[in-house]
Each structure stands twice: as C-alpha cells, then as structure tokens.
Amino acid sequence: MKQAYLKRTYNNPLEKKEIKNIKGKKILVLPRWYPNQLDIQLGIFIQRQLVLMREQHDFYVVYAQAIEDLPSKFQHKSNETLGFPEHVVYFRSAKGPFRKITNFYRYKKAQEMGLKFCPKNIDACHIHVPYRSALPALKLNRKKGIPFAITEHWSGHINGAFSRKNSFDKWLYKRIVQKASVISTVSQKLKDAFQYNTGKTSVVIPNYIEQGQKNGVIHNDAKIKLLSIGDIHDATKNFSGLLKAYRAALTEMNNMHLTIVGDGPDRDEIHHLAKLLNFPPNTIHFTGRLEHQIVLETIQDCDFYICNSNFETFGMTVAEALFAGKPVISTTCGGPEEFVNTNNGILIEISENSTNLKEAIIKMSGVYKSFKKEDLINPIADRFGKETVKKAWSAFYDKLLINTKHSN
C-alpha cells in the first residue's frame, strides 16, 4: 500500500544535516481512546496532536474497539486522509461468564491485525492511556529494545479509580510505567496525582487548542446562548446537576437557551431528567455528538460556556471556549482551575446541590458582555496555542528518540 505523507522542509542544508537523525522517525501510536464509528469525539485530542506533529515524524496509529453484535468477529478500517495511516480494528464484544477474558484476547488480536499494516522497523512507540493499549509496545521493547513513551490523560488518578483497581492491575500498570523512556501528563494536578500513585514524574504537555470559525448562522431571538460539551457520563460530567441549576435559573430569568453537545452511556437518563424538569419551550437542546469542526463552530456561536464536571484532567472544551473569546463557568474539577480565573470566567466549588451553579449562571448572564475578547484569547493562545504545544512535543519526541537504534 502506497503511503502519502506531507513533505518535510528545512530552511537550509546545514539544518537538514543537523536534525536528520531525529526527524522523520517511525512512531507507532497506541491509544486507549481514539475517534471511531461509535464515538467520533473519543480521544480527539490525541488525533489533533498527531496532526500537529505530522510534519516531524511518521505516525502509525493502531486502535482496537469493541462493538456489540458486530457482524464479523473482526473488522479492519484504515484511513490516511490526515497525512498518516490510522488502523482501527473493531472486534465483536463477547458475552457470557468469560466475556472479560475473551474480550482481552480479542482486543490483543485486533491490535495484532492492525500492526500487520505498519512497518517492521518502528523507531519508537507512543502509548496514550495504558495499560491495555501498551501490549505491543511492551513486546517490541522486550524483543527489539524499541523505546516507548506514555501520555496519561485518565482522570482515574484524580478521582480514586486507580486506587480502587485490584492489586494485579496496579502492579502491571506500574511495571509498564517504570519501563517508559519519557512520560507526559496533561495538567499539573494530573502530574501530581500520577506521581503519587506510581512514584514516577512526568512533563506537563497540555492539549493543543484550536479555534473555529464563525458559522454564519443568524439568530433572530434575543436569548442568551449557554453551551456545555462532553461525554454524557454523569458521574464525571454531572450534567444532571447542570440541568437542575439551569432550570432553577430560568425561574428568575427566562431569556436563556442551553445547548448540550455530546452523547454517552447516561444519555437516556439525562434526557428523561430534562423531561421531568419540564423546561419551557425553546430553552434547551441536545445535539448529540458532532464532528470536531462543527463543535468549534458551535462554541463560536455561544455567549458563555459551562463546565460542571466532577473530574477533568485538562478541560479541553473550557480552553477551546476561552480561545473562541467566550467567558466560562467551571467547577474546580482538576485541570480548568489552572487557567480559569476572574479575568476570564467564574470558578465554583463542586457541590451536591446546584445552588452555586445557578447563581453563577445568573451572574454570568449579566456580565458576559463585559469580558474583552482579546483578554480571553491571548493567554490561551500563549499557553495552549500551536507553536507553544508543538515546541513541547518536539522536545518530548527528541528525548524519546535520541538513543534509538536508528538514530545514527
């Protein structure tokens, strides 16, 4: 199969000679989350990071995803439209008392099927969210000495899920972490929690934040447009609390409209709660999942953004909203409090009742126009923009690759 890649350019011959041993390496990317036919937004930040760095290295993505009632036991889908090959292998999710063991072996087999379409002379591996995704990297490291990096995005280090794992899972996770050449996490809070749980330090590299374009839609109503985006998993994102707070706020001011973008395992429960709360007409809308660019356009069209999460390792949509010049309301849930402050929004404590969020919504509805767009955009551009994040990833990959077998 002929591969199509972007041509690399260098400013002068000396520069080319100087970096030729580090640039253009073959990196096998093994993510635990990645956009797929079940969820087009899952791990989108991983995919966007590869797009950002595709001019520097040759990436090969192998991702395995379980699907219930898949017609065949395995199904391989490949794509190269982003400038690097993505190999997504679906496998039929097993049922019955031995489903966990069966699914583990099917996951492993799916990865192996994807690897057949990748070069044999891989220089390094990059694991996103171990440990199951790390299996091929461990094998390559043991047999050929190929180094691997880890990037951790998982909120389980913050919310206690890691501590609740069984002893074997924790042992295996730590063993993989110990063998990694370099490790990154997406926020300082995740870095601290990761180090507490594993004893290993990491470098903080935030997600790459993009800015969408105005979609040109003209709204004839005078409603204040609120927006929230996320996987509808209520224990993490707390959309139920958002609905209750918003419904209470509507009793005091009725010129608002809330859009919720996303889907997930608790969709039916959240939709049912919305019906029970009896929202007035034209005050709430669920879009389901949207393509990445449409999400960015939707952010451009809101007046302010709300994150009511219980846990966030970074808070990508919060940063995207600020980069679009939109003030935000966010809980102190992990990542967002590292960049949300009184200059760009309202921070609230996580609470079992919805009173503080209701009050924040009412307050923001009165002051959102007073925020200056450049004061919201510029700090985010400096901290999470293309050049800043690209420089950090370049240093990360240089450290991973400097001692590879093919570096000379």
Same domain for 262 and 390, yes or no, is: no
**Residue 79 β-bridge partners:** 86
For the record, the structure tokens of 29 come out as: 């990317």
The answer to the question of residue 343 being in a domain is: yes
Q: Are residues 389 and 355 in the same domain?
A: no
CATH number at 257 reads 3.40.50.2000
3 part of a folded domain: no
**213: in domain:** no
> Is residue 138 domain-shared with residue 149, that is, in the same domain?
yes
Quote the domain boundaries for residue 158. 13-208+385-401
What's the pLDDT at 22? 60
Express as a percent the part of the chain with pLDDT over 90: 85
Nearest in space to 171 (alpha carbons), one of 180, 181, 162, 160: 162
Note whether 184 and 233 are same-domain residues.
Answer: no
How many distinct structural domains can be found in the chain?
2
Tokens of 136: 């091929």
Distance CA 259, CA 390 (A): 32
CA 18, chain centre distance (Å): 34
pLDDT < 70: residue spans in the chain: 1-23, 213-221, 403-408
Residue 174 main-chain phi, psi, to 5 deg: -65, -35
What pLDDT score was predicted for residue 96?
86
The answer on 390 and 366 residing in a single domain is no
Q: What is the pTM of this model?
A: 0.86
Do 196 and 267 fall within a single domain?
no
Cα 231–Cα 59–Cα 319 angle in degrees, nearest 5: 35
- Same domain for 153 and 280, yes or no, is no
Q: Are residues 356 and 395 in the same domain?
A: no
Q: What is the model's pLDDT at position 7?
A: 33
257 and 183 inside one domain: no
pLDDT score of 108:
96
As a whole number, the mean pLDDT across the chain is 90
- pLDDT given at position 78: 96
Same domain, 352 and 229: yes
**The predicted structure's pLDDT at residue 344:** 97
Question: Are 70 and 190 contained in the same domain?
Answer: yes
- Based on the fold, state whether residues 282 and 170 are members of the same structural domain: no
The reported pLDDT for the residue numbered 53 is: 96
pLDDT value of residue 222: 81
